[in-house]
Amino acid sequence: MTEHPITQRSKWNSRLGFILAAAGSAVGLGNIWKFPYITGENGGGLFVLIYLVCIVLVGLPIMVAEIMIGRAAQKQPVGAFEALQGHKTSWTAIGWMGVLAGFIILSFYAVVAGWAMDFTLKSVVDFTSTIEESTDREAAQFVAKATPSELRSMLIDDAVSHDVRDFAKAQQRSLLQSTWDEYQAHKEFLATYRKEWDKFLSLTPVEDQRALLTQGRFEQQKLLNEIDVDALRTEVQKEIADLSDEEVLARLKLELDSSQRLLSDPKIAAAVAAGEAVEAKIAERKSELQEKWKAHFAAVPLSELEEQARTIKRRELIFNATQSAFLATATDGWTAMFWTLIFMGITTLIVGSGIASGIERTCQILMPLLLVLIVGMVVYGMFQPGFKSAFNFVFYPDPSKLKPSGVLEALGHAFFTLSLGMGAMLTYGSYQDSKSGLIGEALAITFLDTLIALLACLMIFPIAFSYGQEPSAGPGLVFMSMPLAFAEIGRGGMLLAIGFFGLLFFAALTSAVSLLEVVTSYLIDQKGWHRHSAAWSMGAAITLFAIPSAFALDENFVMSGWETGFKMNFFDTMDYLASNWLLPLGGLFIALYAGWGMPRRLQVAEVQDLAPGLFWGWLFLVRIVAPILVIIVLLQKVRILDIDMLLAGRFNCHEILF
């Protein structure tokens, strides 16, 4: 590798500029899109508490390590380790992994950022008010047409499903995740099998048997691989038509037998029994609730029934509309690609303009703006009826709502949200000459990131709760539940929507910039390219690589074979690969290098202004605590360790059967 002399390495203009840029990298979709929904899925308070512990024990020390390595080496990740060691070293692999991770993460990150841009524009043309007006009319029409008993049963169903939700979740949590998964995996198959068996017993004419066999084979194949259904049907029909009557009977018996054999596996049988017991309990609770609500609504006067039914119907219609608005963007590869292209263009423009005049300047404008927007939205939320329950949800730790594996998710997210594990902070640190204030900088960046993640929860949940949304709505929380709330708010909702999606876009932009910078600086530092050509060629390469992610949810996508092979679409595969493997592995090695590998002299030079106690504390965390915790997460990922199983009985899994 030839190294070209570099006349003058770019530098940040000020310490504050560095902190804002690094905080801009950290604060992104991870904070506003992902953190609220994983908090929702993991039951709130306790998850947040554990996340904070992970940030302090693992995130903060590794943040210090990355900035320290970058500052000492004055190089981006691929060159840094060699520069510090003074010779070729295998630690350089960390740098290569980082560049690869940056490339991969940005390719799907840009797609989600593109959705945010699309929604910002949609908000400017006030799509939520349009939805609100049309659904208002439809809901009124619906109520006018419905009979009182129809209205009643609709209200009963709604109340029951609302009431039973927490109970159902608690019931499911009482099983091990693996048991529940096993049950889910066989549930559909067994239901089909049982139906078939009943039918078989009642069949005599051989034609019926043939039809049954065809149908059974078809259903079974369809479960195994969800490919072209029509082609599959003809194929199966042809296969069965070629058999003789005797063969049909024999095959039919065999098929049903083999289905039954599934249940002779004691583990599967136990999982199925446990799963069915849980479902039976849920069904029982449901019918109790049904009785209760029936009695309740019988006494409610018609005018009130109509009023309530209209609200529910309207919400349902709005939800359908916002959902299809989101799907229209996400499942149309060309729209997604269009926005990805624009987003990548803006990102590349900023990176191409340099460290101080591009990245630093952008973050100096966008970060304060972002803070103002989010505080404004939280203040709005404080006046919403759902604020109190949202606050409790986020801050009140309730152990019954968290599975042990949620702890691991918290740790994994700590890496992603702080931009750790791939040398982004290392690269940013390398544009600094200061030898002081390292811990203060790391603290400020971490504090800002955590603050904004918590504010994002306090912005989203009050609105979601006030409009009857579930906190556990998953990845769609931001793109479907929020527009729903904005639509219900009516006129003022438009401003909130613009603020919200604009915020998401800005947050994503300052993060994407750091991802592109890692990849770009490799070409600049190691290959002597000019910043402009390095940024634009890497920007273009990543945009090309983003195409399959942009089209991943598009049904006409040519690469649908990917999903069959990898069991997830291209987009999710990239996210999984980077967030679950590359980042934790990178973080582990960075911690090990900073703790054990880095020459002590260089290390001490970076922290000379630090009290010895703090230095030893940091060293202990980065040498021992952080690596052990990361290794536990990785072992769980390869399923050598099942923490839910390990802690079952001692934690909240009361009903471990068998």
Can residue 510 be called a binding residue for ligand TRP (CB under 6 A)? no
For ligand TRP, what does the binding mask look like between residues 188 and 217, x meaning CB under 6 A? ------------------------------
For ligand TRP, what does the binding mask look like between residues 75 and 114, x meaning CB under 6 A? ------------------------------x---------
Question: What one-letter code names the amino acid at 245?
Answer: D
Q: How far apart are CA 47 and CA 18, in angstroms?
A: 30
Can residue 589 be called a binding residue for ligand TRP (CB under 6 A)? no
First-residue to last-residue Cα distance in the chain = 60
User: Per CB under 6 A, which region of 3-11, 27-35, 254-262, 553-561 contacts ligand TRP?
Assistant: 27-35
User: Per CB under 6 A, which region of 122-130, 315-323, 510-518, 566-574 contacts ligand TRP?
Assistant: 510-518
Q: Which is nearer to ligand TRP, 469 or 510 (CB)?
A: 510
Nearest CA-CA partner of 236 in 219, 209, 214, 211: 214
Q: Which is nearer to ligand TRP, 26 or 164 (CB)?
A: 26
Least distance CB 423 / ligand TRP (angstroms)? 8
Neighbours of 224 (CB within 10 A): 10
User: Per CB under 6 A, which region of 24-32, 273-281, 283-291, 490-498 contacts ligand TRP?
Assistant: 24-32
Site for ligand TRP in 210-249 (CB under 6 A): none
Query: In the chain, count of helices (H) and strands (E)?
Result: 32, 0
Among 274, 321, 422, 480, the residue binding ligand TRP under the rule CB under 6 A is: 422
Tokens of 42: 């993991």
Q: Minimal CB distance to ligand TRP: which residue?
A: 30
Can residue 28 be called a binding residue for ligand TRP (CB under 6 A)? yes
CB 516 within 8 A of CB 420: no
Can residue 347 be called a binding residue for ligand TRP (CB under 6 A)? no
Can residue 583 be called a binding residue for ligand TRP (CB under 6 A)? yes
Q: Which is nearer to ligand TRP, 17 or 587 (CB)?
A: 587
Can residue 542 be called a binding residue for ligand TRP (CB under 6 A)? no
Least distance CB 106 / ligand TRP (angstroms)? 8
Q: How far apart are CA 612 and CA 624, in angstroms?
A: 18
Neighbours of 658 (CB within 10 A): 10
What angle separates helix 493-527 from helix 92-124, to the nearest 10 degrees?
150
Least distance CB 35 / ligand TRP (angstroms)? 8
Report which DSSP code applies to 226. Answer: -
Can residue 653 be called a binding residue for ligand TRP (CB under 6 A)? no
Can residue 511 be called a binding residue for ligand TRP (CB under 6 A)? yes
Q: Which is nearer to ligand TRP, 81 or 193 (CB)?
A: 81
Can residue 503 be called a binding residue for ligand TRP (CB under 6 A)? no
Instruction: Give how many residues touch ligand TRP by CB under 6 A.
Output: 16
Residue with token string 């399923």 = 639
Among 20, 21, 23, 26, the residue binding ligand TRP under the rule CB under 6 A is: 26
Q: Which residues, in sequence order, are CB contacts of 552 under 8 Å at separation 6+? A: 559, 569, 570, 571, 572
Can residue 30 be called a binding residue for ligand TRP (CB under 6 A)? yes
Neighbours of 339 (CB within 10 A): 24
Question: Cα dist. 3→41, 253, 426, 518 in Å?
Answer: 49, 72, 20, 17
Query: What 3-state class would DSSP assign to 328?
Result: helix
Least distance CB 512 / ligand TRP (angstroms)? 7
Report which DSSP code applies to 473. Answer: -
Least distance CB 31 / ligand TRP (angstroms)? 5
Least distance CB 27 / ligand TRP (angstroms)? 7
Among 91, 416, 431, 501, the residue binding ligand TRP under the rule CB under 6 A is: 416
User: Per CB under 6 A, which region of 201-209, 264-272, 417-425, 637-645 contacts ligand TRP?
Assistant: 417-425
Among 23, 29, 94, 426, the residue binding ligand TRP under the rule CB under 6 A is: 29
Q: How far apart are CA 377 and CA 502, in angstroms?
A: 12
Among 69, 402, 424, 553, the residue binding ligand TRP under the rule CB under 6 A is: 424
Tokens of 17: 């500029």
Q: Which is nearer to ligand TRP, 30 or 404 (CB)?
A: 30
Nearest CA-CA partner of 501 in 173, 185, 116, 233: 116
Among 514, 569, 603, 652, the residue binding ligand TRP under the rule CB under 6 A is: 514
Among 19, 22, 31, 552, the residue binding ligand TRP under the rule CB under 6 A is: 31
User: Per CB under 6 A, which region of 28-36, 256-264, 496-504, 562-570 contacts ligand TRP?
Assistant: 28-36
H-only helix segments in 355-404: 361-382, 387-395
Q: What is the 3-state secondary structure (H, E, C) of 396-427?
A: CCCHHHCCCHHHHHHHHHHHHHCCCCCCHHHH
Least distance CB 356 / ligand TRP (angstroms)? 19
Q: How far apart are CA 22 and CA 11, in angstroms?
A: 14
Q: How far apart are CA 429 and CA 417, in angstroms?
A: 17
Tokens of 172: 């499911």
Least distance CB 117 / ligand TRP (angstroms)? 15
Nearest CA-CA partner of 580 in 163, 104, 166: 104
Least distance CB 237 / ligand TRP (angstroms)? 50
Can residue 22 be called a binding residue for ligand TRP (CB under 6 A)? no
Greatest distance between any 2 Cα atoms in the chain: 90
Nearest CA-CA partner of 509 in 123, 118, 25, 37: 25
Least distance CB 127 / ligand TRP (angstroms)? 25
Residues shown for the chain? 658
> 126: phi > 0 → left, psi -120 to 50 → alpha, else beta; which?
left
CA 551 to chain centre: 18
Residue with token string 């506003």 = 32
User: Per CB under 6 A, which region of 21-29, 260-268, 432-440, 534-542 contacts ligand TRP?
Assistant: 21-29
Query: What 3-state class would DSSP assign to 456?
Result: helix
Q: Which is nearer to ligand TRP, 30 or 429 (CB)?
A: 30
Q: How far apart are CA 32 and CA 421, in angstroms?
A: 20
Give residues in contact with ligand TRP (CB under 6 A).
25-26, 28-31, 105, 416-417, 419, 422, 424, 511, 514-515, 583
